[in-house]
Structures are given as C-alpha cells and as structure tokens.
C-alpha cells in the first residue's frame, strides 16, 4: 500500500502565528508589587517635595525663600535703591524654575507690607496685601517695589567668605548657596509653614531679643530653663496668648503641641461699641466677621446690632456695635468661645537636618543651629586664614626686593624677553613664581623705598592676625564667644519689644453658658413617635388640648429648668445628650421638635425615655424582658467633653421594658409584671447598686415557660388593692399570680410609664 505523501507546511502562516504570539506577549500587562511601584514612582516625588520645597532647613529658609533672597543680594539690593518686583521675579527665575507668580507670592509673604513675619526680610513699597486678610489681594509685581531689609546683613554675612557651600542651579549655569549663614537662629524668629507629602511643618515665631538671649544662655549652661528667658512665641499680629507654662514646656521639649491665642480689643463705653485691633495669627478678619454674623443670625449673639471692618492705613480694626445694656465683657467671653477671635496654633517643629526631616524641641533646634553655626564660622575663618597666608607669602617676596631695589630694576631692564622677567626675578632674589609675579606687577611709581617699607610693615600685624585666627580655630570657647558677640549685635540693632502679650490661662475670662442663658421652669413631654414638646408653665396653664399626630400620644413628661442637660435614651441602647435650652419653646398647637432629625438618630431609632438634670445626681432603674433589673447612678453619663452621643448607654442583651429615675435618698416600692400574669412588689434597694451603666443587673423574676417581663412602674402610680400579697423580699423570685380582685393591675404595661 502506497504511503500518503505529507503536504509541506505553509511557512508564511507559521511565521505569522509566531509574530502574533510574540506581539500578544509584549502587550500582556506586567505585574508589579504595589510597594515596588510606590518606591520607584512615588517616593522620588515625595522626597523632592520634602527636601526641596516644603520643609525649612536649619538656617530658617525653604529653597524658594533662599533663592529669592540670594538673587536680591546679588542684584545689590541690600544697600541700593528699590527696584520693581517684576525685575526681582525675573532674575530669580534663573535659580527657581517655578512660575513667576509662585515666586512673587513667596516674596509677598516676606515683605514688611504684608506683615506675615515678625522681622521682615524685604523692604516693600506698594500694596502687598495683609496676612490677616483673606480678601485683601496684593498688587501685580509691575506696580510694587522692593529691596532687602537691613536685617539681611546678618543673613548674608560671610557668604562671600566660603561660609556655606555653593551648589549649581537647576541648569548648571549659576551657583547658589545651599544654606544662608545667618548669624542668629532665624528658624525660630520668623514663622514658617509647609505641607509636604506625608508630613508637614508649622513653626511659630519668637521674639528676636528673647531668642538671642536664650541662645546665649543655653550656650553657657545646657541646663538653663529657656522658659524663664523665652517664655512663649511672639506673633507679628500681636494678640494675647493664654499662657500655660507646663503646656508651653511640652512644646519646647517635644516640638509639638497647641496653645490658644486671643484677639485684643478695646471697649468704647460712651458709644457702646467694641473695637478689635489684633487677632490671632492663624485666622483672618473675614473669617471672624463671618463667624460673628452666623452667631447673630442664629440668635446666639442678640447683643450685637452691627459689625463692620474698619481696617485702614492705621491698621486692623473690627468694630462691633452693641445694643443698649450689653455686658461687653460677657459678650467678648462668648465671642471667644464661639468664633475665631480665640484660635489655637498647632506647633510642629519639623526641620530638615542634613537632608533628613526631624521634629525637634527648642533645645534640640538650638543644639543643631549652634553646631551648624560653628561650622560656618570655622569655614569663614579658614577662608580668611588662607587669604592672610597668601598675602603674607607675597609680602615676604616683597621684603626680599627691599634688600636691593636697584638690583630688581636692573634685572627687569636688562631682560630682553618679557617671558624671562619672572624667571630672572626668581633666580635673582630666591623667590617663587607667585612672589615674582607680585613684584613684577608693582607700578613704576611704587618702586620706592617708602612704599615697600609701608607694605612690609604690615607683615607683623598680619602674622599676629594669622596666629590669632589659628588660635580661634583651635578653641571652641573662642568660637562660642564670636557667636555670642554676633547674637548681641543682632539683638541691639534689630531687636523689638514683644508684640504678643501673655495672660495666665486660669485668669482669662471664660464663657459660661449659664451666665447668658435665661433660666425658667418649664414642662417637657415626649411622644411615642419621638416628638419633644417644650412648654413654659404659663403656656401650659392656658393651653387647651395638646396637639399630636393622629396615631401618636404623649407617654411621659416632667417639670425641669431651661439650663438643664437633657439625656434621651433610645431603643438602640444609645444615649443622646443635649441642653434643654438648645430647643426653642413650643406652643400647645405645635407637634414639637422631631428628635430623630434634630439629634441625628438613625432612621429606625426611637426615643424611649428621657432625663433632665443639672448635677447628674440620681439613680436609674431599668427592667429588661429577660427578667433582670439594673440600678446604677446617672453620673456615669457625665462627660468632660461635650459629647453628643454615647454608645451602649445601658445593657444591650435584652429589650428594656421600663425606666425609672430615683432620687439618691429614696427607696420606693416598685412593681413589675410578666407575660404569665404574675406580679411582684419590692423595694428598689433589693436590686444592688452597680457602678457601670452597661451592667446586666441581677435576676428579678425567674423566667419560666418562655415568659418575659412586661412592665415596670412605681407602686404608687398603679391601682393595686392588695400590694402586700405581691411583696418579695429577695431575688430572684417567681412572683405571684395576679388575683381576680387585683384585675386593675393586669393593665400595667410598658406604655403606662411616665
């Protein structure tokens, strides 16, 4: 049998299939761990923001500040006339690749006109806005003019003497300083804020005199208490710090913490108005006015008739017109409590140290600054030492010429070729090339004995200076002396009195709600659908039928006072806390306040009981379906924080069938019934008093045949003809079947509680 001949493969189709498979393989997604993706793609960006943008370094500047100030320094604006801001912005773009408006915004914050810094670095002319205003915008850079403030002399001192490293700019065409050699701890003197990736920095400003004095004291004694010299921050906008020494000590030690700052105000009793002249550094005029306007609209500041911004060339001023009879101090205490007139400043002393962000306390910052400053001084001294040694070396060569000036002239005159002058001088006087170059460059008019003798006479002084400089470099004590001298000079030239006043926190007036809230007797009622009705006693006496929804009814009510705290229990074992005065008075024809929406309850949550108290004295008695009962003091609901909702307000293992509020001294008779038509009368003290609100209590009636507790009430509120028949004297008990003649008692239910 003949074998079937094999057909040849289609080479073109095979090649096409291979190419298709290869292309599909190339297009397949490459799986990469998320940690590796973050490390390779996100971390470089994050580190760039942290190191090169948002966090200040030990000299007190961010890169954008440093580039701007250095540009102005190189433009000659330290001692020259002002120039247009647009000119500075344009020149700064050679060092800063960000946009022109970003650079201008940086400049604005550093100007005297803006007022953001306690010691501005830029002397400005024109409109630069105000730090305390949200809406007051600065003028365009083409309209404003700037130059450096005199304090910048202390920032750049030594920068031309190799005090700091010079690095390439972003395109390698220019050099810029890596840090500025500030002669004082500028990082503490001016406020600085920055938000990086995963971290932030917020450094408050301190008074320059106090910082310099504290640095000097710390340099001499590491155990000095800085709070005695530099008690608290000092802000450019003034204000009043509510001073807590231990709170401030915590900030000084850890570099983190908060403190409160209040506005400064004057009362004009004659015109019945209040003038606010200084506000907290962290807020704005517009935010304060908005806060106060909201208070007036909500009826919480009825004493105010008008508020306006009267800020002018003389400075900030917010004027509040008051109604007749207003207690101005009480009103300000209220405004401090509810508006930004009192605000908190959150400290986060996060600083870059050798490229690493660190949160440092004040003493740690001073340690780092002093170490860095010693390095700057040492570099500057070495630079000057090299120059003096070089100059001495040249003068030594000149001294050789003094021995025979005529010989030097003869060598030069008899030399035929110009390039042979230097070698001939070197050979003739045994000097090196540098010395020979120096001698050869002397002008003809200076080739006289007097000139040369005068120059050489400087050698002795120069040798003394060199020896002294070398001694300083080898003596940490003398370097510290130079630091102290610079600190004293800075404080003398640029120091200013403290702007922010300190007041003891305990002595500051505090808003007390009870002082301004009217107190009167009233009647509270709660309906089954969760409506709260609040009636004054007069309206209740004159009322007809109290209105409720058709399928609703009032199931509890009591008298209380307007300043009481209101505790509302729900069927979800939650407790909602409010003040009675939070709810407005209702008319008999009103349905009342719907608590579910007013208190933010869940859609399926319903109030089942409420208490009003001012002193949190009393005992709460709760009975549960499982036959247990609990008794505990209501002071377990008292909290220091103004919490609106407490979870697990009572035992959640069984449904409650009744709540009763008892006085601490009383021990009333109570009665319970269950689903087997049994009842029990007992003293409330039969149930032991517990200390926790979530206690499950003890077994009151034994549950048999699946029976559950149905009701709890005071015996005096229930018509029982023979209560002693149902009396129990120990728990647990089984109860007694309700007699026929006690039929009225069968109607007791959870619905009858009040």
In eight-state DSSP terms, residue 688 is P
Q: What is the DSSP string of 543-580?
A: --SPP--TT--EEEEEEEETT-EEEEEETTS-EEEEEG
Is the separation of the CB atoms in 603 and 641 below 8 Å?
A: no
Whole-number Å distance between alpha carbons of 89 and 174: 16
Using one digit for the tens of pLDDT, what is the confidence trace for 521-557? 899 999 999 999 998 888 777 766 788 888 889 999 9
Q: Tokens 């929804």: give the residue.
A: 549
Whole-number Å distance between alpha carbons of 439 and 92: 42
* Among candidate residues 353, 363, 395, the one with its CA nearest the CA of residue 60: 353
Q: Tokens 């701890």: give the residue.
A: 185
User: What pLDDT does residue 27 have?
Assistant: 59
The CATH code that applies to domain 264-340 is 3.30.1360.40
In eight-state DSSP terms, residue 197 is S
Dihedral pair phi/psi, residue 407, rounded to 5°: -65, -40
- The greatest distance separating any two alpha carbons of the chain, rounded to the nearest whole angstrom, comes to 152
User: What pLDDT does residue 3 have?
Assistant: 46
Radius of gyration of the chain (CA): 42
SS3 call for 432: coil
80 CB burial (10 A radius; 0-12, 13-18, 19+): exposed
* Among candidate residues 459, 400, 394, the one with its CA nearest the CA of residue 411: 400
Write down the domain spans for the chain: 48-182, 264-340, 370-494, 513-752
The reply to whether domains 370-494 and 513-752 share a CATH topology is no
- Beta-sheet pairing, 501-504 with 240-243: parallel
Using one digit for the tens of pLDDT, what is the confidence trace for 663-697? 988 999 999 999 999 999 999 999 999 999 999 99
User: What pLDDT does residue 2 have?
Assistant: 44
405-414 vs 421-429: helix crossing angle, rounded to 10: 150
Is 531 one of the annotated active-site residues of the chain?
no
Using one digit for the tens of pLDDT, what is the confidence trace for 213-226? 999 999 999 999 99
Is the separation of the CB atoms in 75 and 86 below 8 Å?
A: no
User: What pLDDT does residue 32 have?
Assistant: 78
User: What pLDDT does residue 18 have?
Assistant: 56
CATH topology of domain 48-182: Topoisomerase II; domain 5 (3.90.199)
User: What pLDDT does residue 543 have?
Assistant: 64
Is the separation of the CB atoms in 635 and 616 below 8 Å?
A: yes
Q: Which residues of 51-69 are buried (b: 16+ CB within 10 A; e: fewer)?
A: beebbbbbbbbbbbbbbbb
The CATH code that applies to domain 370-494 is 1.10.268.10
Residue spans of the chain under pLDDT 70:
1-30, 511-516, 543-544, 742-754
Is the separation of the CB atoms in 170 and 97 below 8 Å?
A: yes
The CATH code that applies to domain 513-752 is 2.120.10.90
Size of the chain, expressed as the number of residues it contains: 754
Of the candidates 42, 45, 143, 520, the residue annotated as catalytic is: 143
Q: Which residues pair with 632 in a beta bridge?
A: 620
* Among candidate residues 161, 144, 159, 156, the one with its CA nearest the CA of residue 184: 156
Contacts (Cβ under 8 Å, ≥6 apart) of 559: 521, 522, 523, 524, 537
User: What pLDDT does residue 28 have?
Assistant: 59
User: What pLDDT does residue 515 have?
Assistant: 57
């Amino acid at each position: 049998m003949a074998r079937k001949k094999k057909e040849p493969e289609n080479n073109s189709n095979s090649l096409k299939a291979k190419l298709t498979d290869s292309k599909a393989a190339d297009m397949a997604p490459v799986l990469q761990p998320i940690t590796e993706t973050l490390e390779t793609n996100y971390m470089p960006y994050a580190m760039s923001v942290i190191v090169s943008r948002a966090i200040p370094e030990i000299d007190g500047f961010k890169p954008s500040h440093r580039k701007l100030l250095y540009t102005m320094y190189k433009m000659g604006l330290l001692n020259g006339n002002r120039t247009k801001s647009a000119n500075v912005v344009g020149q700064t773009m050679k060092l800063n690749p960000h946009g022109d408006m970003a650079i201008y915004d940086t400049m604005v914050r550093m100007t005297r006109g803006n007022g953001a810094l306690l010691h501005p670095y830029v002397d400005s002319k024109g409109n630069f806005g105000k730090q305390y205003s949200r809406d007051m915008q600065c003028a365009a850079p083409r309209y404003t003019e700037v130059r450096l403030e005199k304090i910048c002399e202390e920032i750049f001192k030594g920068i031309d003497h190799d005090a700091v490293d010079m690095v390439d700019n972003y395109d390698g065409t220019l050099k810029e300083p890596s840090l500025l050699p500030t002669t004082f701890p500028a990082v503490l003197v001016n406020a600085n804020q920055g938000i990086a990736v995963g971290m932030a920095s917020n450094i408050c400003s301190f008074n320059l005199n106090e910082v310099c004095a504290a640095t000097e004291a710390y340099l001499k004694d590491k155990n000095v208490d800085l709070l005695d010299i530099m008690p608290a921050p000092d802000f450019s906008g003034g204000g009043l710090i509510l001073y807590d020494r231990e709170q401030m000590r915590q900030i000084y030690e850890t570099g983190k913490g908060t403190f409160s700052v209040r506005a400064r105000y004057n009362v004009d009793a004659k015109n019945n108005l209040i003038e606010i002249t200084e506000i907290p550094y962290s807020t704005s005029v517009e935010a304060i006015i908005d806060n106060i306007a909201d208070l007036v609209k909500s009826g919480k500041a009825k004493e105010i008739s008008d508020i306006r911004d009267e800020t002018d060339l003389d400075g900030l001023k917010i004027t509040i017109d008051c109604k007749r009879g207003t207690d101005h101090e009480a009103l300000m205490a209220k405004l401090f409590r509810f508006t930004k007139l009192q605000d908190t400043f959150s400290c986060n002393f996060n600083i870059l140290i050798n490229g690493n962000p660190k949160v440092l306390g004040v003493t740690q910052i001073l340690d780092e600054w002093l170490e860095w400053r010693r390095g700057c001084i040492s570099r500057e001294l070495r630079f000057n030492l090299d120059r003096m040694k070089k100059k001495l070396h040249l003068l030594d060569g000149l001294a050789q010429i003094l021995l025979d000036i005529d010989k030097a002239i003869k060598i030069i005159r008899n030399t035929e070729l110009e390039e042979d002058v230097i070698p001939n001088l070197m050979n003739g006087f045994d000097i090196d090339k540098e010395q020979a170059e120096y001698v050869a460059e002397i002008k003809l008019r200076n080739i006289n004995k007097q000139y040369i003798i005068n120059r050489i006479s400087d050698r002795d002084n120069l040798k003394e200076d060199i020896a002294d400089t070398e001694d300083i470099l080898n003596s940490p004590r003398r370097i510290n002396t130079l630091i102290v001298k610079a600190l004293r000079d800075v404080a003398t030239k640029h120091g200013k009195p403290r702007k922010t006043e300190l007041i003891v926190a305990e002595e500051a007036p505090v808003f007390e709600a009870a002082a301004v809230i009217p107190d009167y007797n009233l009647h509270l009622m709660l309906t089954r659908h969760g409506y709260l009705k609040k009636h004054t006693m007069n309206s209740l006496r004159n009322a007809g039928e109290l209105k409720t929804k058709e399928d609703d009814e009032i199931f509890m009510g009591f008298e209380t006072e307007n300043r009481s705290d209101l505790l509302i229990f729900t069927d979800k074992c939650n407790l909602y806390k409010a003040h009675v005065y939070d709810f407005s008075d209702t008319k008999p024809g009103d349905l009342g306040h719907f608590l579910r929406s007013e208190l933010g309850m869940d859609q399926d949550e319903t109030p089942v009981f409420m208490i009003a108290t001012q002193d949190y004295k009393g005992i709460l008695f709760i009975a549960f379906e499982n036959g247990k009962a609990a008794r505990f003091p209501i002071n377990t609901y008292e909290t220091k924080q103004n919490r609106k909702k407490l979870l697990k307000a009572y035992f959640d293992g069984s449904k409650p069938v009744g709540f009763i509020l008892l006085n601490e001294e009383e021990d009333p008779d109570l009665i319970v019934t269950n689903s087997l038509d049994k009842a029990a009368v007992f003293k409330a003290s039969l149930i032991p008093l517990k200390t926790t609100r979530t206690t499950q209590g003890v077994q009151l009636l034994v549950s048999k045949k699946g029976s559950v507790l149905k009701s709890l009430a005071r015996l005096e509120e229930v018509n029982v003809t023979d209560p002693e028949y149902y009396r129990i004297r120990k728990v647990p008990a089984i109860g007694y079947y309700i007699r026929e003649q006690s039929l009225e008692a069968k109607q007791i239910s959870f619905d009858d509680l009040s």
